[in-house]
Amino acid sequence: ASTLVLGEHESGSVKASSLSAIAAAKAISEENSISLLLAGTGPSLQEAASHAASSLPSNSQVLLADSEELKHPLAETWAELVHMVQQKGSYSHIIAASSSFGKNVLPRAAALLDVSPITDVTEISEPRLFIRPIYAGNALCTVRYTGANPTMLTIRPTSFPVPNISSSKNSDAAPISQVDLSTFSEAILRKSRYVKHTSQDTERPDLGSAKVVVTGGRGLKSADNFKLIEKLAEKLGAAVGATRAAVDAGFVPNELQVGQTGKIVAPDLYMAFGVSGAIQHLAGMKDSKVIVAVNKDADASIFQVADYGLVGDLFEVLPELIEKLPEKK
């Protein structure tokens, strides 16, 4: 097998999600020869390349696409780049992490190569046999790719943990080579322009990647009461989530919704207050490591997935918790 991994980099390092994609490439076969494709321009690209070279096995390589056209990771240019690199390299597999980058780029590249991609893979059983969640994780689907090469995947980074990199292996670092972009500039569209990137409010961690999430449901009764959730989240350094019912009732904006149609989260600790446990909400949080539920209705279905349940009035429990839980370290 030979695998092209689409890599993302930031301030001179390869992103952790791309290292997971490399781990997935190794899961295809031990002897898999991996080509990590990095694109961009300037010294931070070079730096990321050396960083990557030291974390790859020696039968692998880093491919650098250095061009002003690739400064921002636009799907239109990246898909053309992948198409071009694949035609030269005839890889058996192409993998990206299912980050917003991979989800945006890989299916477009797959269409150009006339391949059905398999997205959000959580397990590689055989080189062409994969498991991926469907129905927001309420079922697992085993899929076989039966078409012509390449097999194209996005992988869920949390399912492919990155082994600790030994820094002593620098001596047999993978080679770095430049992608020949001489025919590239005619291929690209230039119909898409990057304008800006706005970072989220950094006071609270991002809901999708937070270690702790505190969520409120309809039981909070009002937007004003929801501040109790925010206060607890602040104390724990947690992200705030909400159920669809709480969003529909206008307590909080839509972007906080956790559930099948909202964000899907899997933090170390998930605390749910006044949440009944509707199917579509459970779909968005049931992969959390530890789930705590507080609800005055002992029959609420949230208790079926909770590791720790407390039957009680959240308006008494929340202030007590805010007082008794330790500050975040």
Partner 1 sequence: MQLPTLPFHFSRAPKMKIMVAVKRVVDYAVKIRVKPDKTGVDMSNVKMSMNPFCEIALEEALRIRESGLASEVVAVSIGPHQCVDTLRTGLAMGADRAIHVETTSQLYPLSIAKLLQKLVELEKPGLLILGKQAIDDDCNQTGQMVAGLLKWPQGTFASKVVLDKEKQVAVVDREVDGGLETLCLDLPVVITTDLRLNQPRYATLPNIMKAKSKVIKKMTPEELNVEIKSDIEIVQVTEPPKRKAGVIVSSVDELVHKLKNEAHVI
Instruction: Compute CA distances 122 → 113, 130, 131, 140, 237, whole Å.
Output: 23, 8, 6, 9, 28
Residue 165 binds partner 1 (CB under 8 A):
no
* Interface of this chain with partner 1, residues 218 to 237, rule: CB under 8 A: 236
Q: Which range, of 88-96, 168-176, 199-207, 215-223, touches partner 1 by CB under 8 A? A: 199-207
Asked if the bond preceding 150 is cis, omega within 30° of 0, the reply is yes
Q: Which is nearer to partner 1, 32 or 98 (CB)?
A: 98
d(CA 38, CA 121): 22
Q: Which range, of 59-67, 177-185, 223-231, 307-315, touches partner 1 by CB under 8 A? A: 307-315
Residue 95 binds partner 1 (CB under 8 A):
no
d(CA 38, CA 321): 47
Q: How many CB atoms lie within 10 A of CB 247?
A: 20
Site map 127..156 versus partner 1, x via CB under 8 A: --x--xxxxxxxxxxxxxxxxx--------
Site map 236..265 versus partner 1, x via CB under 8 A: x----------------xxx-x--xxx---
**Identity of the residue numbered 82:** V
- Report the nearest approach of partner 1 to the CB of residue 25 (Å): 20
Under DSSP, the state recorded for 314 is H
d(CA 140, CA 104): 23
Q: Which is nearer to partner 1, 179 or 283 (CB)?
A: 283
Q: Which is nearer to partner 1, 240 or 306 (CB)?
A: 306
- Report the nearest approach of partner 1 to the CB of residue 276 (Å): 12
- Report the nearest approach of partner 1 to the CB of residue 264 (Å): 9
Encoded tokens for 134: 């469907």
- Report the nearest approach of partner 1 to the CB of residue 217 (Å): 15
Task: Write out the H or E segment, with its range, that includes residue 4.
Answer: strand 2-6
